[in-house]
Amino acid sequence: MMSDIAEDETSFYSNAEDYWRDVSPTVDGMLGGYGSISSIDLNGSKAFLQKFLGEGEGKTGTGCALDCGAGIGRISKRLLLPLFHTVDLVDVTQEFLDKAKTYLGQDGQRVGNYFCCGLQDFAPEKGRYDVIWIQWVIGHLTDSHLVEFLRRCQSALRPNGLIIIKDNVAYEGVVPDEVDSSVCRELGIVRKLVGQAGLRIIHEEQQMNFPKEIYQVHTLALR
């Protein structure tokens, strides 16, 4: 499936950009009409992330985080900005980043950078980030671009830094979504691509209490 996409990479990316350009810059828009799950999602993410933050041996710092596929800043506002001193946002849709500047309110003063860029082309600054948060966006990257992006993320980490992937997982294989021009990979494939990037999974959890009709969502902490 992904080999077909690689052959038609240009339209895979441009169709996704076209899709998101027409999505309303709201929490409900970011979550495909499932705005009601936002708090459950964020509470689960916070519990996951706080296992790693703090003082002491092997703990991850709280200086700077990167929100990948940030949209209007839903995750930055309620997860990353409360925990980190500085947060950078990257998203392919300029309108979402413009909206983030008002949506984040006072805490937006601690945003370091707003990058308008697709992750396949984005190179985070080396050694800048304690945590790189990548949620509901890896399906918009081809396998090879995902591996390359994760490698760039690894070099962008500070000592004891973490890459977090939180995303839908398919029951089997790779499931294409023609509507938003993305794919959903089974967990085994995600793990394999993480390994190809030279990263290891240090912790993994399934997000609980989501509606039964949506894909399972798993969170992976990588170093």
Output the pLDDT for position 6.
Answer: 57
Cα angle value 223/135/195 (rounded, 5°): 35
Residue positions forming the annotated binding site for S-adenosyl-L-methionine: 69, 74, 91-93, 119-120, 135
Residue positions forming the annotated binding site: 69, 74, 91-93, 119-120, 135
In this predicted model, what pLDDT tens digit does every residue of 35-94 receive, in sequence order? 999 999 999 999 999 999 998 899 999 999 999 999 999 999 999 999 999 999 999 999
The reported pTM is: 0.97
Residues with Cβ within 8 Å of residue 183, at least 6 apart in sequence: 1, 2, 5, 139, 174, 175, 176, 177
Helical segments of 22-64, H only: 27-30, 38-50
Superfamily of domain 1-222, CATH level 4: Vaccinia Virus protein VP39 (3.40.50.150)
Dihedral sign for Cα 37, 43, 48, 49, please. Answer: positive
